[in-house]
Structure 1
Amino acid sequence: MKCYNSKADPVADFLGPGKESHPVEWQTMIDDLKANGLEIKYREGNLAYSPEKGRPGQMILDPDASYSALKHEYQHYIDNMENGKLGMGDYLQDPYKRIEMETNVYNKEIELANEMGNKELANELEQLKQNEIDYIRDNYIIEE
């Protein structure tokens, strides 16, 4: 069995590429992103959503990313649209909003892992969530 895992996408080891494990859901999200003007760039080993003020932004997506990883980045896009199409600078100025958004998207991935009955994966995703929160706190929150 091919190992798809990267630190950013541990679900890939269990589900494989999203376009294979959930082809309809994968294509629905991709089609929605493209129809709404989001630019998608495919790069092996990379996963990121970059918001752009007043625009949908850009997504960097590993072509073999898991369904869960795409849902994670897609949810960032949805959240940003609901927040009024903010740019990355807006999120850098409001680290608490970033923490809220990361918590939201990781919780959706953790929920999927729990639905699959994979507690080990849920725990790994919980740790990734905590790492992201710690990174934001350590680098962007100035204690007074």
Structure 2
Amino acid sequence: LVIFNFTQGYLILLLYNIRELRKLRKRRDPDFDRYSLCRMYQLRENVVIMKMLLKIFAPSFIFALPAFLFYGVAYILPSTEYYNYISSMLFAFLDLWIALSCLNAQLIFPFFDYRFRRSANKISLFRIFLKIRERRSSRAK
């Protein structure tokens, strides 16, 4: 229910920003002042970032699913000495998976937006990943 409400609010805000941006683009009257230009730029940036986040949502959600699995299994285990050990291990894996998810989020941003790619090109590890990706895409063609 929470995910549905968040998704609904996100899409409503995205559509509102796109509609406002279209209104500002159509307006070419003398009252088109500096504030309107700043607002137009901000709306354009909001739309670009929100569309990029939509692209990142699915891979990030799929990568985070095991964390929910670890937590769910640890929650339903009975409270005995043997299962407490397994539960502790599951919570340790949960912590590890959350750390890996955060690292994954850091690594996938440059693949979805060119602005992140420019700054990520300074990192040697990212350049290696980018070369591997380019080789794979050239083989597929």
Compute the TM-score of the two structures, normalised by the length of structure 2. 0.31
Instruction: Report 1 or 2 for greater relative contact order, CA contacts < 8 Å, sequence distance ≥ 6.
Output: 1
Compute the TM-score of the two structures, normalised by the length of structure 1. 0.31
Q: Which has the higher strand share?
A: 1
Larger Rg: 2
